[in-house]
Amino acid sequence: MAKIENGRQSADSRSIRTISSSHMDDESSLGSDSEINGFTNDRHTDKYGFIGGAQQYSEESAQDIPPEVLRQREVKWLDMLSNWDKWMVKRHKKVRLRCQKGIPPSLRGRAWLYLSGGKVKREQNRGKFEELDSLAGDPKELDVIEKDLHRQFPFHEMFVSRGGHGQQDLFRVLKAYTLYRPEEGYCQAQAPIAAVLLMHMPAEDAFWGLVQICEKYLPGYYSAGLEAIQLDGEILYALTRRVSPLAYRHLEKHKMEPILYMTEWFMCAFSRTLPWASVLRVWDMFLCDGVKIIFRVGLVLLKCMLGTREKLKACQGQYETMELLRAIEPRYMQEGFLVREVLEVPVSERDVEREHHVQLKRWRKNHGELHCKSPPRMHGARAIMASEPPSRQDLRQNPTIIVESPLPPPQPTPQLKKGEKKSKKEGSMKKAPPVMEIPNPYPLPGDPQLPLRYPLPQLPLRYPLPQPTLRDSTVQQPLVNDTPLPNTPEESPPPHQPPLNDQPPLNDQPPLNDQPPLNDQPPLNDQPPLNDQPPLNDQPPLNDQPSLNDQSLLTVSPLQKSTQSLSSTEADQDTYL
Among residues 220, 204, 198, 197, the alpha carbon closest in space to that of 119 is found at 204
Q: Which residues contact 32 (CB under 8 A, 6 or more apart)?
A: 21, 161, 162
Among residues 149, 145, 174, 153, the alpha carbon closest in space to that of 162 is found at 149
pLDDT for 367: 85
- What is d(CA 358, CA 238) in angstroms, rounded to the nearest whole number? 10
Give the model confidence (pLDDT) of 501-542 as tens digits.
Answer: 454 444 444 444 444 444 444 444 444 444 444 444 444 444
Give the model confidence (pLDDT) of 414-467 as tens digits.
Answer: 665 555 555 444 444 455 555 555 555 555 555 555 454 445 455 555 555 555
pLDDT, one tens digit for every residue, the chain (577 residues): 444 444 444 333 333 222 233 333 333 334 434 434 445 455 688 888 888 766 655 555 567 788 999 999 999 999 999 999 999 999 999 999 999 999 999 999 999 999 999 999 999 999 999 999 999 989 999 999 999 999 999 999 999 988 899 999 999 999 999 999 999 899 999 999 999 999 999 999 999 999 999 999 999 999 888 899 999 999 999 999 999 999 999 999 998 999 999 999 999 999 999 999 999 999 999 999 999 999 999 999 999 999 888 888 888 888 989 999 998 999 999 999 999 999 999 999 999 999 999 999 999 998 888 888 888 899 999 999 998 888 877 887 766 555 665 666 666 666 655 555 554 444 444 555 555 555 555 555 555 554 544 454 555 555 555 555 444 444 444 444 444 444 444 444 545 554 444 544 444 444 444 444 444 444 444 444 444 444 444 444 444 444 444 444 444 454 455 445 444 444 444 443 3
Q: Is 267 exposed, middle or buried (0-12, 13-18, 19+ CB in 10 A)?
A: buried
Give the H or E element holding residue 304.
helix 292-306
| CA 163-166-172 angle, 5° bins | 85
Rg of the chain, C-alpha, whole Å: 44
User: Could you give phi then psi for residue 9, rounded to 5 degrees?
Assistant: -90, 140
Q: Which residues contact 369 (CB under 8 A, 6 or more apart)?
A: none
Q: Is 142 exposed, middle or buried (0-12, 13-18, 19+ CB in 10 A)?
A: middle
Task: List strand residue ranges (DSSP E) for 137-281, in order.
Answer: none
Among residues 327, 284, 336, the alpha carbon closest in space to that of 305 is found at 327
Q: Which residues contact 49 (CB under 8 A, 6 or more apart)?
A: 156, 157, 158, 199
- Other Cβ atoms less than 10 A from the Cβ of 380: the count is 26
